[in-house]
Amino acid sequence: MAAWLAIHRPAQVRSLVIVASGGTAPCLGDGRDLDWQAASRRTYDYGVRARSEEALIATEPRLANDSDLAFETLLRGNYREAQQSGNLEMFLRRARTAGDYSDYVELQERELFPHLEKIVVPALLVWGGDDPTVPVERGLALADRMPTSELHVFPRAGHWVMHDEPDGFNRLLEGWLCL
């Protein structure tokens, strides 16, 4: 949405921040795409993950190796809110069975990529160096398509950059937003 606004409503956007966005980052066009797509299928298999609150917690990669009560509490609250709002049922109905990314890529190629050069505001791209679903190479590919962008990588962060590196992430954002 942020990139769409910067493209179609540039007068309303002063600067742009994109954080590890698989919806914005392009495919790499080679065998590396198979790796991030497989990781994404595992991570975003909502047919398995969303069948219960306990399944969501048990399959959350962030909690697989480390106990994080604050993060677990956040996930539980989000699950319950999604359940009450009806969004959970929507995710379960729309869960991909084959994990095919062709519709996803087609939408990007039609609606986003041809227009990235229209983004004239400064753009900060923030990536985790240890994110299997949106690897740094995809962030670099996005930066190549956005001449006004600056890519910052947190080497030890995964997809949840703001959670993995909260102090550094907040300092980076504060510096960026106070330009």
- Positions annotated as catalytic residues are 159
Q: How far apart are CA 12 and CA 9, in angstroms?
A: 6
Take residue 12 and report the two structure tokens written for it: 């309303």
Please say whether the beta carbons of 105 and 27 come within 8 A. Answer: yes
